[in-house]
Amino acid sequence: MDMSPNAGWLALAKYPRLAALAERARDLPPVCAAVVHPCDVASLGGALEARDLGMIEPVLIGPRRKIQATAEAAGLSLDGLAIEDAPHSHAAAERAVELVRAGSAQAIMKGSLHTDEVMGAIVRDEFGLKTERRISHVFVIDAPLYPKLILVSDAAVNIAPDLLAKRDIAQNAIDLARAIGVERPKVAILSAVETVTPKIPSTLEAAALCKMAERGQIAGGVLDGPLAFDNAISRDAAAAKGIVSDVAGEADVLIAPDLEAGNILAKQLVFLAGAEDAGLVLGARCPVIVTSRADSPAARIASVALAQLYAYWAERQAAAKLAAGE
């Protein structure tokens, strides 16, 4: 993996829509990000590149000596950086949550630890970052053959979501789409077919989600489903099936029936279709950047940009509600 200076930023040039998001993010003030256990070159280098690009002000949390040794081995400078010494990854995750609860950090960035460790600290009942909303993961994908960014959820957190979980999954994805500039996102609820049939439970949930949107239980987007994948992204496929829809063939968001389907879909786009992705965990009190070890430097920088854009969008939404007396 290329960890040369600005490797992520330079690699983003191949993906103009994600690059445009990163450019917009750089126009905003940096957010303070609690970087949890950045004890490998990829996670530490990604955080430092995002700092150098003016996107985050990182607080590195983990074993001080291990972080320093990682930086020294990679030729990275830690000058001027805040480092909070934590004995191990669990303690680092808990400290990151404490910083967010105290208002000292606006985002959490996962380092070289398992996602479950970070999420375990976030979802603790008493001292975590849970809200009334279900936590979910959203990919933002720049696929060369699709005319715009497309969001896929949930491909990383909720294994077999029920109807109420899917409601929150859809709402989290709509919120992120709006945060990156999609005024009224078009949301396709995916299944294997475009007709409602009791033999395929996901079609029933898709229909219910659309009715929930009509009743205001899901806000800010236009929903349709069930839709098969081809009908969701191809106008020709939708026309061939006689589907009349504001969403079919023009989806901004794809809601998968379960984690397996969403994960396979997102990874196929990246590894077979030449796409690049970025991703966030939403539904907690702050955005959480959970890039994996296989993610490219470009994906890391794009994910930071998403967190920055979402954090400021959420801040504006909260201020507007307060001003309206809600």
Query: What are the mean pLDDT values of the chain's consecutive 10-residue runs (326 residues total)?
Result: 74 96 96 97 95 96 97 94 96 97 97 94 93 97 97 96 98 98 98 97 98 98 98 96 95 98 96 95 97 87 97 93 82
Co-location of 115 and 203 in the same domain: no
pTM of the model: 0.95
Co-location of 326 and 233 in the same domain: no
Co-location of 268 and 307 in the same domain: no
Sequence letter at residue 276: E
Co-location of 144 and 267 in the same domain: yes
Tracing tokens 């994948």 back to the chain, one arrives at: 229
Co-location of 179 and 250 in the same domain: yes
Report the CATH number that the domain containing residue 55 is assigned in CATH.
3.40.50.10950
Greatest C-alpha distance within the chain: 63
Co-location of 266 and 313 in the same domain: no
CA distance 50 to 225: 38
Sequence letter at residue 307: A
CA distance 30 to 299: 18
CA distance 184 to 222: 7
Quote the pLDDT of residue 2.
Answer: 55
Co-location of 301 and 247 in the same domain: no
- Domain span holding position 261: 134-281
CA distance 120 to 280: 16
Co-location of 114 and 156 in the same domain: no
Among candidates 238, 209, 234, 268, which has minimal Cα distance to 201?
Answer: 209
Sequence-distant (≥ 6) Cβ neighbours of residue 71 within 8 angstroms = 44, 77, 78
Instruction: Judge contact between 232 and 151, C-beta under 8 A.
Output: no
Sequence-distant (≥ 6) Cβ neighbours of residue 56 within 8 angstroms = 30, 31, 32, 33, 47, 50, 107, 109, 304, 307, 308
Q: What is the number of domains present in the chain?
A: 2
CA distance 94 to 226: 40
Co-location of 165 and 63 in the same domain: no
Co-location of 230 and 301 in the same domain: no
CA distance 142 to 269: 9
Report the CATH number that the domain containing residue 258 is assigned in CATH.
3.40.718.10
Quote the pLDDT of residue 51.
Answer: 96
Co-location of 274 and 149 in the same domain: yes
Quote the pLDDT of residue 323.
Answer: 86
Quote the pLDDT of residue 143.
Answer: 97
DSSP state at residue 135: P
Sequence-distant (≥ 6) Cβ neighbours of residue 247 within 8 angstroms = 186, 187, 188, 222, 223, 224, 225, 227, 232
Q: C-alpha distances in angstroms, 242 versus 85, 237, 238, 252, 260?
A: 61, 9, 6, 21, 29
Quote the pLDDT of residue 5.
Answer: 65
Co-location of 272 and 301 in the same domain: no
